[in-house]
Amino acid sequence: MNCIIVDDDKLSCKLLEGYVNKYSSLNLIGVYNDPVTARNEISSQKDVDLILLDIKMPEMDGFDLLGSLDHPPNVIVVSGGEEFALRAFDFNVVDFLLKPVSYARFCKAIDKVTRYFSPKEPPKSGDEEIFIKKGSSLVKLKLREIVYVEALENYVTLNTGTDKYTIHFTMKAIESQLPSGVFIRVHRSYIINKKMIQAIKENSLDIMVGTATKNIPVGKSFRDTLLNDINVMAR
């Protein structure tokens, strides 16, 4: 997994660089003390799988950097400011590490990236079943029964035609688990079941949720991917 470090603190970079080099599945391809340079490199390279990202930096902080990217790679925030944690999860980061970071805690975060985002074969068809906790019970759910997924801070809700399940996952983690032939990300906060689309508008789309229609926003950076993924017949 190719990763980069973005942190204006050179001592912190040195520590993280040592941790990365110890972890056999990580390949460090860049260390940046300047977030603007890092942002340009991330935009031009397609082989960055993970960013180890500080938040408080000059010119462009970590949140500004993430907000400037259309499709950011996996991100682990490494920050000295505990107050940034909740906002970090609004950006669907994989984990938040508070400085000073121990190697054991670092490994736990990398294990989470590996577990959630490693390629899985064969591709899912949507007929796979998962068990979701609801109250004190585990409820069986087919993936194709999910109509849409919505991000809620560091939680997501899985919405079917009749029910809603809230789980402690990031959107990136959920997106990697859902079959791309059935689901598509249309917004930073929404993934939808393509079979439920009823109409696509300028900045939103309508999907069927049970017997009702729900309007879902479509992010500007996701619209072209959506239109390329469906069959469009136009005059």
Q: Stretch 219-234: mean pLDDT, rounded?
A: 79
What architecture is the 129-229 domain classified under in CATH? Beta Barrel (2.40)
**The sheet that has 2-6: what strands, in order across it?**
27-32, 2-6, 50-53, 74-79, 95-98
Helix, coil or strand: residue 137 = strand
User: Comparing C-alpha atoms, which of 91, 82, 107 is closest to residue 16?
Assistant: 107
Contact 116, 173 (CB under 8 A): yes
The one-letter code for the residue type at 133 is: K
For the domain spanning 2-117, the CATH number is 3.40.50.2300
What pTM was computed for the model?
0.54
Is residue 40 scored above 60 in pLDDT? yes
Is residue 131 scored above 90 in pLDDT? no
Where along the chain do its domains lie? 2-117, 129-229
Burial of 125 (0-12, 13-18, 19+ CB in 10 A): exposed
Is residue 127 scored above 80 in pLDDT? no
Identify the pLDDT of residue 235.
42
